[in-house]
Amino acid sequence: MATTDSSTDVGFRSERGPILIALMLSSSLVALDATIIATAVLTIVDDLGGFAQFPWLFSIYLLAQAVSVPLYGKLADLFGRKKIMLFGIAVFCIGSILCGLAWSMPALIVFRAVQGLGAGAVQPMAITIAGDIYTLAERAKVQGYLASVWAISSVLGPALGGIFSEFLSWRWIFFVNIPLCALAAFMLLRKFEEAAVVRTKPKIDYLGAGLLAVGATMVLLGLLEGGQSWAWGSPISIAIFVGGFVLLGIFAWVESRAEEPILPLWVFTRRVLVVSSLISLLVGALILGLTSYVPTFVQGVFGTGAIIAGFSLSTLTLGWPIAASQSGRVYLRFGFRTTALVGGSLGVVGAVLATLLDAESQIWNVAAACFVIGLGMGLIASPTLIAAQSSVDWSERGVVTSTNMFARSIGSAVGVAVFGAIVNARVSGSREPQELSDAIHLVFIGVLAAAVIMTAAALLMPKRTAQ
């Protein structure tokens, strides 16, 4: 066992306050990037052209981030968190600079992939380092701080994107990352002292890494672009899915024989890890459904502006860190299973409220539903991740954390595909308010289904720290 008592892992001689600030700064890179570009898309297209290609600005970033997360997790267990985190910040910074200098839409898409590769290290490493240097009793509050970064970014990101696009240049959306990267890296270099990882010539599973990257990319690409760039039943769609799953099957066979597997198969054999990843996958799908379609519902059905629509959704990211920061008191007293069940139940209540929304509802009804769901996510997402981290020692925590993050990325991609297909099948080119309301109502039903399954999965969580 690792940090399941009051002591932190041996090998860390660090000032935790400054490190937490550095981790929050690092997380803000990924969080801001997820929201700031959305408000500048039309400005970017006006400058660079390529309107038909702009969805790739989001898809390629998600792909690069998702497929690289498991690789960084294993490398962090082999070589230490600090090196991988600093590498991720450097890659993200280089990608940001290149995006700001992009001369065409294809170039910008390629440079967004570079950014995604950096983000794939930054997000899981921030959570892993927090798990290393804080005790079990402290981690919930720390996860709340990290979650609050996303809450702030959900409000600040669109505002900054609009300001930069209107008064400066859309390129500053990317250049603003440079000082944030520099400050986060400087603080980690100065304050985070990590003991050397004692390993004799660690063997990197290059074959496994390649198979996972290509196989996962093909499956995610099929999910993200299916029904949009090509029909689900088209030859290219079938070929991409078959090829991806075949490569993942070969990957599983290779990993079962590798000396240092990039994604050890034991993560799929321990109950707490499997359940935690399943919940993370469902959280990814649920949150994607809400963030994609709540603003659309508020604008298209209620006829409000973008600012009001953003406010109605921001309550989701407000409730999450509030609940996450207090979840430690709950799971230390009642256990992980009870905490997760309470969170899942709140998610179900919030999703039921969402299914009751219609054209006669008020903005506060939408905000209330999102807030309740946010509270539920704070009580199920963070505690189940902490339970998984607490069930392993330092040498396995990077893989466990990154697997959890990878599952959430898969859930987001599945959510994009499923919810997108539902809405596209019901909405015509006119997008009448009632038609849009009926279509998004089905999305809310899907969110409710995810919340119910998530709550059922919580029954399989351990009562306390680990198996």
177 touches 111 (CB < 8 A): no
Structural domain 12-195, CATH architecture: Up-down Bundle (1.20)
End-to-end Cα spacing for the chain = 10
Predicted confidence at residue 450, as pLDDT, reads: 92
Per CATH, the homologous superfamily of domain 265-467 is MFS general substrate transporter like domains (1.20.1250.20)
pLDDT at 126 over 80: yes
Would you state the pLDDT for residue 38? 64
Beta bridge partners of 226: 230
What pLDDT was estimated at residue 169? 81
Any bridge partners for residue 12, and if so which?
194
Q: pLDDT category, 291, cuts 50, 70, 90?
A: confident
* CA 322 distance to own-chain centroid: 18
pLDDT tens digits, 317-344? 778 878 877 787 788 888 888 888 999 9
From the number of C-beta atoms within 10 Å of its C-beta (0-12, 13-18, 19+), residue 231 rates as exposed
Q: Return the pLDDT at 13.
A: 44
pTM higher than the cut 0.85 = no
pLDDT band at residue 420 under the 50/70/90 scheme:
confident
* 54-71: average pLDDT: 78
Averaged pLDDT score across all residues of the chain: 80
Q: Which range is least confidently modeled, 145-149, 157-161, 287-291?
A: 157-161
Q: What is the pLDDT of residue 80?
A: 79
Over 70: is that where the pLDDT of 33 sits? Answer: yes
Q: What is the reported pLDDT for 196?
A: 61
Q: What is the pLDDT of residues 355-409, one digit of tens each?
A: 998 888 888 888 899 999 989 988 888 888 888 888 777 677 778 888 888 888 8
| Residue 237 CB neighbour total at 10 angstroms | 18
Given this model, what pLDDT does residue 77 score?
76
pLDDT at 454 over 90: yes
pLDDT of residue 97: 93
- Residue 138 CA to residue 252 CA, distance in Å, equals 36
> The dihedral of CA 225, 231, 233, 236: what is its sign?
negative
Supply the pLDDT for residue 130: 80
Whether 270 and 461 have beta carbons less than 8 Å apart is answered as: no
Average pLDDT over residues 6-27: 66
Amino acid code (one letter) for 408 = R
Amino acid type, 8 = T
Q: What gap in Å lies between CA 380 and CA 346, rounded to an integer?
A: 10
> Tokens in use for 393?
């020692």
Using CB atoms within 10 Å of the CB of residue 15, give its burial: 0 to 12 exposed, 13 to 18 middle, 19+ buried. Answer: middle
The answer on pLDDT for 96 being more than 80 is yes
Please, is 200 exposed, middle or buried when counting C-beta atoms within 10 Å of its C-beta (0-12, 13-18, 19+)?
A: exposed
- Predicted pLDDT of residue 355: 92
Q: How many CB atoms lie within 10 A of CB 222?
A: 23
Please tell me the predicted confidence (pLDDT) of residue 94: 94
Alpha-carbon distance of 123 to 29, in angstroms, equals 9
